[in-house]
């Protein structure tokens, strides 16, 4: 109870905003190379053995990496219920397509090598591509739409109504963000394949990964220019009560050109996030060309983390703006769960998060090393 008293409502809200960012970064980094590898599969592996090498580079670990996605969805549901309600209703078809892609992946992993038929295996290979490319694209499209704002409204009783459509989500800026997501995860996947494979596959990963890193830099810069000149931001125009009730209607907000860059002007240290995005991707290009494999994946992880964090840093305290009326927009201070709920969840997180991290580290230590091509070919161990 003493800790509960010390952690006041506004502090807990800020902690959970940070934790949500940590979970999203965790999924982008840990699950990102799985998705990037899947998106690379049809282009980086030319023989059946090479494709099995690529699949086995992520086969033992991809399932555990999805824990970060589950944790992120659970955190949104429990800590930011209004955000969950708008996102999973307004983005319903996009979420459905995302789930289809994520469901196809494990099926493809399990059934791809069950038959020797070339047509059979190529079909599952393209489904693995679908399961990697589509989630990477849709996650970026979702972030782009969050920056643009979403057409939803709130009633005085806090009923939420979404007034957009699936195709509204596929606007130019959101697709730009989607392509950025794909390119940076492809570079991340290529960095992982450099660690786990040898020979022709590793060399193709170096070439494609280097190109993807450069494309990511260009797309990230283009997104920044769009935020500066074309994308409207949001700002709160009424006094802010960080410990106030979870009711967005109690505030006033407005649309303002360049508002998403305001935090960078007021708090210079936030520039570290976009700087990390650019520096990480540039280092990934240089290190991948130099064949510094471990350093490369650390660089792609830095770049991805910087890009994800830069979105949160630019939008704070907004977490989902409304294009119908800025007053409906959800912020860190007016759309969270109760003080007690946030506290209980924080205690659970402090207990279980270290266990998840420790288990993940142990799994990667046990499974470290190159994929054994001979073992795959002669079937001396379980392989996909």
Q: What is the mean pLDDT of the chain?
A: 90
CA distance 25 to 69: 10
Considering the entire predicted model, what is its pTM?
Answer: 0.92
**Which residue is associated with the tokens 């494999």?**
293
Per-residue confidence at 131, pLDDT binned at 50, 70, 90? Answer: very high
Over residues 94-108, the pLDDT tens digits come to 889 999 999 999 899
Chain CA centroid to CA 328, Å: 25
pLDDT confidence tier of residue 65, bands split at 50, 70 and 90: confident
* Residue 138: pLDDT over 80: yes
CA atoms of 51 and 256, how far apart (whole Å): 50
What average pLDDT does range 336-356 have in this prediction?
Answer: 90
Give 380's pLDDT tier (boundaries 50, 70, 90): low
The average pLDDT across 41-69 equals 87
- Maximum pairwise Cα distance, the chain: 69
| Three-state secondary-structure class, residue 232 | strand
Distance in angstroms (rounded) separating the CA atoms of residues 113 and 48: 10
Q: Provide the 10 A C-beta neighbour count for residue 228.
A: 12
Residue 2 pLDDT > 80: no
Give ∠ CA 188-192-198 in degrees, rounded to 5: 135
As given in the structure block, the two tokens for residue 153 are 């409204």
Output DSSP code: residue 28.
Answer: I
SS (H, E, C) 173-220: HHHHHHHHHHHHHHHHHHHHHHHHCCHHHHHHHHHHHHHHHHHHHHHH
Task: Encode pLDDT of 182-220 as tens digits.
Answer: 999 999 999 999 999 988 899 999 999 999 999 999 999
pLDDT of 378 strictly over 80: no
Minimum mean pLDDT range among 120-129, 162-171, 211-220, 336-345: 162-171
Q: Where do we find the tokens 């471990």?
A: 294
User: Residue 230 — very low, low, confident or very high, per pLDDT cuts 50/70/90?
Assistant: confident
Q: Whose CA is closest to 240, among 231, 248, 232?
A: 248
Using 50, 70 and 90 to split pLDDT, how confident is the model at 3?
A: low
Mean pLDDT, residues 124-142: 94
pLDDT at 49: 87
Contacts of 160 (CB under 8 A, 6+ apart): 82, 85, 86, 89, 152, 153, 154
Tens of pLDDT, residue by residue over 271-326, are 999 999 999 999 999 999 999 999 999 999 999 999 999 999 999 999 999 999 99
- Rounded mean pLDDT, 37-47: 91
Got the DSSP string for 301-312?
Answer: HHHHHHHHHHHH
> Per the structure block, which two tokens stand in for 150?
């979403």
| Contact (Cβ atoms closer than 8 angstroms) between residue 59 and residue 384 | yes
- Residue 37 CA to residue 98 CA, distance in Å, equals 17
- pLDDT attached to residue 288: 95
Q: Are 154 and 325 in contact (CB under 8 A)?
A: no
């Amino acid at each position: 109870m003493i800790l509960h008293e010390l952690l006041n409502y506004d502090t807990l809200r800020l902690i959970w905003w940070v934790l949500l960012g940590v979970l999203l970064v965790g999924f982008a980094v840990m699950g990102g190379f799985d998705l990037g590898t899947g998106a690379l599969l049809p282009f980086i592996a030319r023989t059946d053995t090479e494709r099995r090498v690529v699949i086995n580079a992520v086969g033992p670990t991809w399932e555990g990496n999805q824990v970060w996605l589950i944790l992120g969805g659970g955190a949104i549901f429990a800590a930011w219920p209004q955000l969950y309600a708008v996102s999973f209703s307004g983005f319903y078809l996009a979420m459905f397509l995302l789930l289809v892609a994520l469901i196809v992946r494990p099926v493809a992993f399990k059934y791809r090598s069950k038959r020797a038929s070339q047509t059979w295996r190529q079909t599952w290979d393209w489904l693995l591509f679908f399961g990697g490319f589509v989630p990477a694209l849709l996650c970026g499209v979702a972030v782009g739409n969050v920056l643009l704002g979403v057409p939803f409204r709130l009633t005085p009783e806090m009923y939420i109504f979404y007034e957009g459509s699936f195709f509204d989500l596929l606007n130019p800026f959101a697709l730009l963000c989607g392509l950025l997501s794909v390119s940076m995860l492809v570079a991340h996947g290529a960095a992982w394949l450099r660690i786990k494979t040898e020979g022709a596959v590793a060399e193709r990963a170096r070439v494609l990964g280097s190109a993807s890193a450069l494309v990511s830099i260009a797309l990230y810069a283009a997104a920044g220019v769009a935020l500066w000149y074309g994308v409207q931001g949001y700002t709160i125009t009424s006094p802010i009560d960080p410990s106030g009730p979870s009711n967005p209607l109690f505030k006033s907000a407005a649309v303002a050109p360049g508002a998403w860059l305001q935090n960078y002007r007021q708090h210079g240290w936030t520039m570290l996030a976009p700087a990390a995005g650019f520096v990480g991707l540039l280092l990934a290009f240089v290190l991948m060309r130099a064949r510094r494999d471990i350093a490369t994946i650390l660089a792609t992880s830095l770049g991805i983390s910087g890009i994800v964090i830069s979105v949160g840093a630019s939008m704070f305290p907004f977490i989902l703006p409304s294009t119908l009326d800025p007053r409906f927009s959800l912020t860190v201070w007016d759309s969270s769960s109760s003080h007690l709920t946030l506290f209980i969840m924080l205690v659970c997180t402090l207990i279980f998060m270290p266990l998840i991290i420790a288990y993940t580290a142990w799994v990667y230590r046990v499974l470290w090393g190159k994929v054994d091509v001979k073992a795959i070919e002669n079937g001396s161990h379980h392989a996909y």
